[in-house]
Structure 1
């Protein structure tokens, strides 16, 4: 619901003479006012949808549950997959949450946006930028709460690791929201959008590198379309490159370095697993900077595609 105050400001803006007949300083002032109003409106309207009471409860309960399930995991080879499981679960859950939250955004706002654009209240670019800025703090709030509760229960080994893992979790969430906005803008029909998104999210989970490591050779190129794959890889790189190293299994270790001569830590024949060996065991991986660049690329591409859909396929009726 659009507030009366915002409606009044936008109506007044639409009633102003054409921008080409206004002095430059008035055009800039009007654009700044409209931008602020649109940002405030998007923030206010999205707050109830994203930060509703039920989502708060769900996030806190889930964070506590995951923290208890993965509570104080030992840094040993036997528990290596458990830590990777927390990473995959966290990136996967917040991908789904952000993507499906964004699906209904444009279908709900479509009619109002078109009326205001047709009246000349603002440009689509102003609305789109305001939506991106206004919803950003809301989008990252719940994943931050989840991480602050859940990850320390696993065992924090470094403050910097804690913050960098949070950064990649939030980047993954924002990317997923961009995909959801694009799908919602293309489909408009909510049921079709949900079906399309369900197929894509299942596909991206399968190729993320946790459920299946060795996939058929002719399908390997599809892994580059899995958005959570890159966030999941980065979280592994950060986690396994810092903190307490992992100890080899006492028997039947899967790492070749653990079968070499005993010693190295005075632990009765245990050896530390090299970080490179842990990462190599998960298949082909990109360096940290490359994964980050791909995630940023996902964000930009889907945001631009979404804008193009709204600009050229969802024009207001005049």
Structure 2
């Protein structure tokens, strides 16, 4: 009886009182609105911790047996197909140009589809940690990008060690390290493209579709399949210039 009487006579009035907002004076309101974020660590400390965490998390994915097998098997197949090609004759030179084009395509666009998944997959964790002011967004992004660079360099070096000597490319120190540098720059550019697409769309299906179209456009406009001269529209010329695999 008491519970029923409370629900019918007292509960509604009490609920209305609780729903009335409590007014804040101007001094308290100014303090709340002007509160600056208090970081528990400096930017460098945040970067260092995030770099270490990202490196430990992703090294297992980068050096999984599946990825190592994929890269090394591709390298062996290329080495067998271009076994000791000779650049001193026109046919061998053309063959080596095709090999270099494939290497640029493989390492220029393979990281795109890996980087696309970065922000969509880490979005929930990032929002949760950012809501508690654990670190700055700039520290996260710089640490996330730079922690991938050492990992991105290991497999391309192994790949080139197999392909370079099996295919009989120029056996000197300078061209070999220039080849590594070129592949590394392609990886950095492709990784940036994948991160930009993934962060812009935040949807894996749409991001993968846009990345596929972009990759195919850059590949076709690179100048290996069709020569784009100044007589063509300026937009196509610009595509050929910004392509990751342009001549």
Give the TM-score of the pair, scaled to structure 1. 0.62
Does 2:44 match 1:32? Answer: yes
Counterpart contact for 1:117–1:123, Cα < 8 Å: yes
Does 2:124 match 1:83? Answer: no
1:111 maps to what in 2?
A: 124
Measure the CA separation in 1 of the matches of 2:83 and 2:213: 32
Q: Deviations over 1:173-197 (max 9, x none)?
A: 1110110000000111101011000
Aligned length: 208
1:222 maps to what in 2?
A: 239
3-state SS of 1:228 partner: coil
Deviation of 1:147 (Å): 0.7
Measure the CA separation in 2 of the matches of 1:184 and 1:214: 30
Counterpart contact for 2:221–2:243, Cα < 8 Å: yes
Measure the CA separation in 2 of the matches of 1:31 and 1:80: 51
Q: Which runs of 5+ in 2 are unaligned?
A: 1-35
Q: Which runs of 5+ in 1 are unaligned?
A: 1-17, 234-318
Measure the CA separation in 2 of the matches of 1:213 and 1:40: 46
Match of 1:102 among 112, 115, 133: 115
3-state SS of 1:217 partner: coil
Name the structure, 1 or 2, with higher relative contact order (CA <8 Å, separation 6+). Answer: 2
Match of 2:137 among 96, 115, 124: 124
1:69 maps to what in 2?
A: 81
Does 2:181 match 1:167? Answer: yes
Q: CA RMSD in A?
A: 2.0
Counterpart contact for 1:144–1:170, Cα < 8 Å: no
Please say which structure displays the higher CA radius of gyration. Answer: 2
Match of 2:69 among 57, 66, 79: 57
Measure the CA separation in 2 of the matches of 1:208 and 1:167: 19
Counterpart contact for 2:221–2:228, Cα < 8 Å: no
